[in-house]
Chains A and B, each alone.
Chain A
Amino acid sequence: MSEIEELHIHKRAFKRMPNLRFLRFYKKLGKQSKEARLHLQEGFDKFFPPKLKLLSWDDYPMRRMPSNFHAGYLVVLRMQHSKLEKLWQGVQVKFCSKIRHITILPFEWHM
C-alpha cells in the first residue's frame, strides 16, 4: 500500500471472489511513504471471501473483523497496527481448527 495513495474497496469488490485464498494488504518496508487512504464502502464485508487461508492486513482500519469473516479455512491471521478491538463472536473453536499463526498488534503498540 506504499505505492498507492488511495484505495477504494467497492461494496461488491469481493462478491465474485468466493474462492480467494490469500489476501494481503501490506506496506513495503522502508519506503518513505505517505499513509495510503483506505475507503471501505459500507457493506464491503458482506461478501468477504469465506475461504481465506491467509489474511494479513496492515493498518486494518475497523474495530471489528469483517462481518462475513469465516475462520474455517484460516491458517495464518496477521493484523498488524490495526484498530481491532474485538476478533469475532460466536465462533466455536472447533471451526477454527486450522489456525496456526495469529499475530495481532494493536495500533498503539510500541516495543
Chain B
Amino acid sequence: MVEDIANDVLAKLNLTTTSNDFEGFVGIEGHIAKISLMLCLECKQVRMFGIWGPSGIGKTTIARALFSRISRHFQGSVFLDRAFVSKSMEIYSGGNVDNYNAKLHLQGKFLSEILRAKDIKISNLGVVGERLKHMKVLIFIDDLDDQVVLDALASKPHWFGCGSRIIVITKDKQFFRAHGIGLFYEVGLPSDKLALEMFSQSAFRQNSPPPGFTELASEVSKRSGNLPLALNVLGSHLRGRDKEDWIDMLPRLRKGLDGKIEKILRVGYDELSNKDDKAIFRLIACLFNGAEISYIKLLLADSNLGVTIGLKNLVDKSLIRIGCDTVEMHSMLQEMGREIVREQSIYEPGEREFLVDSTDILDVLNDNTVSALFITT
C-alpha cells in the first residue's frame, strides 16, 4: 500500500528519472520514496523534517541523493554542511559564529548560495526573511549540531515562502525536540539481503556475489554488522582479490562480531599496501578533513608523498570521498585515524606525529619535560 502511494507520488513528481550520481547505491530508491512521501512536496505549508540514524548508516548519501533529485522543484536550494560553514567563515575574522557580525556574514553566504548571486552583503538579521519569504526554498542541514549556526540560518519557518522544506540530518534525536521537528525519518540498518547487495556492489561492482564467493561474501557482510560504511570499506578493500586473500582476511574480522565496528574499519587502513597512502590518511584525519585538494597539495608539495595518487587510492578504498574539490572523510574514519596517531605513543603525547587533542596539546606546550613532537612528512 505504502509502496503504491510512494510510486504514485514519485510518478507525479517525475522523480523516477535516475541521475547517474547515485547509481549503485543499493537501497537508496526505497529511502527516497518513503521520505518523499513524508515530505508531502505538494503541501503548501512550510515544513521542517528530520532524517535520523546512527553514524555510518548512510544518512548523508541518502540526503545528497534526495537533494539532487528534488531540488529542481524549488526556486532556490542549498545543502548546508560543515564544509559550507567553514568555507563561508574562512575569510571572516575572529571565527566565532556567536556574534552579530559573524551571523550576518554567514547569512550573506547563505543567501548568495540560495539566490545564486555572488557575495550578497546584508545589513541586518531580518534580511533573510525579507528576501526569502515569497520563495519556495529547499534547505538541507547536514550534521550541524550547532545551535548558533542553525539559529542564524534556518530557525524560523516564517522566513521562507509557501511549500519550503527544511530538512535536518542528525544522529542525535534530541535535536529534533529542541527545534520542534515532529516529523522525521529513521534510517535503519539494511536487511541481511540488502547488506549483501551493498557489499557485492562495492566488492564486485554487481548486485550479487559471483559463483564461488557467495558464502564468503555473506560472512564478511555479516561481520560488518550490516553497517553501510563498513560494507563499503571492506568491499573496496577486497575488490579484485582472490579467494585465498578473502579466507586470510576472515579471522581479522572475527573481532567485528563483538560489535566493535571500529575494528572492522581499521582493516581498511591496516591493509593499505602503500606507506604514503597511510601517511596521507593520517594527515587528512588529523589536519585536512574538509580541505581543498589544491591546499593539501600545496602544503605537501615538498614532502615526497605521492599526494595525487594517494588521494586516488584512498577514494578507491572508500576511505575518503571527494566532492567539489574538497576532501571529505567520514567522522568514524577520522576518529579512527586520530586513534592510530594516538597509539603511536600513548603516554608521551610529544612523541606522536600529530597532536590534535586539546588536553594533550596543553600538556605539551606547558611542560618542558616532554620530548620532541616530530612531524615526519
Check A29/B373 contact, CB under 8 A, given A7-B362, A16-B350, A111-B105. Answer: no
Q: A-facing mask of B341-377, CB < 8 A → 1, else 0?
A: 0000000001000100011001011111011111111
In residues 25-63 of chain A, which contact B (Cβ within 8 Å)? 26-27, 29-33, 53-54, 58-59
The answer to the question of B28 belonging to the interface, with a C-beta cut-off of 8 Å to chain A, is no
A residues near B373, Cβ cutoff 8 Å: 16-17, 20
Given contacts A9-B365, A13-B366, A29 and B375 within 8 Å (CB-CB): no
Taking a contact as CB atoms closer than 8 A, the residue among B85, B104, B375 that contacts A20 in the complex is B375
Query: Are A7 and B85 in contact (CB-based, < 8 A)?
Result: no
Contact B148 A30 (CB under 8 A): yes
Considering the chains assembled together, what is the distance between the CA atoms of A53 and B358 in angstroms? 21
* Alpha-carbon distance A77/B86, docked complex (angstroms): 17
CB proximity of B253 to chain A, nearest CB, Å = 35
- Tell me the minimal C-beta distance from B324 to chain A in angstroms: 18
* Complex-state Cα separation, A27 to B121, whole angstroms: 24
Which of A4, A53, A81 is B95 in contact with, Cβ under 8 Å?
A: A81
Query: Once bound together, how far apart are the Cα atoms of A57 and B287, in whole Å?
Result: 14
Which chain A positions have C-beta within 8 A of B121?
111
Q: Are A19 and B372 in contact (CB under 8 A)?
A: yes
Given contacts A3-B358, A10-B367, contact A33 B98 (CB under 8 A): yes
A15 at the A/B interface (Cβ < 8 Å)? yes
Q: Which interface class (under 10, 10 to 19, 20 to 34, 35 or more) fits B? A: 35 or more
B374 near A9: Cβ-Cβ < 8 Å: no
Q: A12-B368, A27-B96 in contact; A110/B358 too (CB < 8 A)?
A: no
Contact A75 to B146, CB < 8 A, known contacts A7-B365, A13-B364, A81-B93: no
Please measure, in the bound complex, the distance between the C-alpha atom of A15 and the C-alpha atom of B370, giving whole angstroms.
Answer: 10
| Chain A interface main SS type | loop
Contact B93 A29 (CB under 8 A): no
Report the bound CA distance from A105 to B105 in whole Å.
15
| Residues from chain A with Cβ under 8 Å of B365 in the complex | 7-10, 13
With the chains together, A57 CA to B298 CA distance in Å?
Answer: 19
- A22-B287 contact in complex given A16-B372, A17-B372, A76-B299, C-beta closer than 8 Å: yes
Most A-side CB within 10 Å, residue of B95, B287, B377:
B95
Give the residue of A7, A19, A75, A109 whose beta carbon is less than 8 angstroms from that of B93. Answer: A109
Q: Which 3 A-B pairs have the closest CB atoms?
A: A30-B146, A12-B368, A105-B93
- Known interface pairs A27-B94, A29-B95, A32-B147; 15 further A-B residue pairs with C-beta atoms within 8 A, sorted by A's residue number: A4-B362, A7-B366, A10-B366, A17-B374, A20-B374, A20-B375, A22-B375, A29-B85, A29-B86, A30-B85, A59-B94, A75-B298, A80-B93, A105-B91, A111-B105
23 A-B Cβ contacts within 8 A?
A: A4-B359, A8-B366, A9-B365, A13-B368, A15-B368, A16-B373, A19-B374, A20-B375, A21-B375, A22-B354, A27-B96, A29-B95, A29-B96, A30-B85, A30-B147, A54-B299, A58-B94, A58-B95, A75-B299, A81-B94, A81-B95, A111-B92, A111-B104
Q: What residues of chain B have their CB less than 8 Å away from a CB belonging to chain A?
A: 85-86, 89, 91-98, 101, 104-105, 121, 146-149, 287, 295, 298-299, 301-302, 350, 354, 358-359, 362, 364-368, 370-377
